[in-house]
Amino acid sequence: MDNIYTDNANYFQKLIHVSKHKLQLKYGCAAEFPQLREYTTLVFFDKTTKVARFETAIVHPKLDRFSRKGGREEVLAHLANEKGFMVVDLTETLKGVTPECEKKIVSHLLSDFTHEIMPRFLFGKKINTK
């Protein structure tokens, strides 16, 4: 997996790319399903509004866009132009927590989105993601 982080006073952004190789290591033969696609997930967390926007870019099955030259920029542009896959208002959840704790909670939610929600979305009920 390849990660990109941005953290400043206004927002926190984290991107995780899940390669086909990583999926094959994790799911074995299940990775041969045609529904399996290499994908990239992104969270954009607005620190002022406390809204986290989770996005995904699913790669064509025969094209590894992320690792080839210029591929990262294509994926990032695709993510920026897409409607959010999942938007979560964390206002109540994050009341009274430190900025460091905010970042950990949002990162954990991105991990769940990346490693639990997206595989189930791609495979449906055909895999066990334990």
pLDDT of 32 over the 70 cut: no
Is the pLDDT at 130 greater than 60, yes or no? no
Question: Among 13, 16, 12, which residue's Cα sits nearest to residue 117?
Answer: 16
Q: Output the pLDDT for position 41.
A: 87
Asked whether the predicted pLDDT for residue 98 surpasses 90, the reply is: yes
**Any idea where the domains of the chain sit in the sequence?**
2-123
- Beta carbons within 8 Å of 26's beta carbon, 6+ residues apart: none
The residue among 55, 54, 114, 52 whose CA lies nearest residue 89 is: 52
Which ranges of 15-117 does DSSP label H, i.e. alpha helix? 20-27, 71-81, 99-112
Judged by DSSP in three states, 71 sits in helix
pTM (whole model) above 0.75: yes
pLDDT at 33 over 50: yes
Mean pLDDT confidence for 15-30: 78
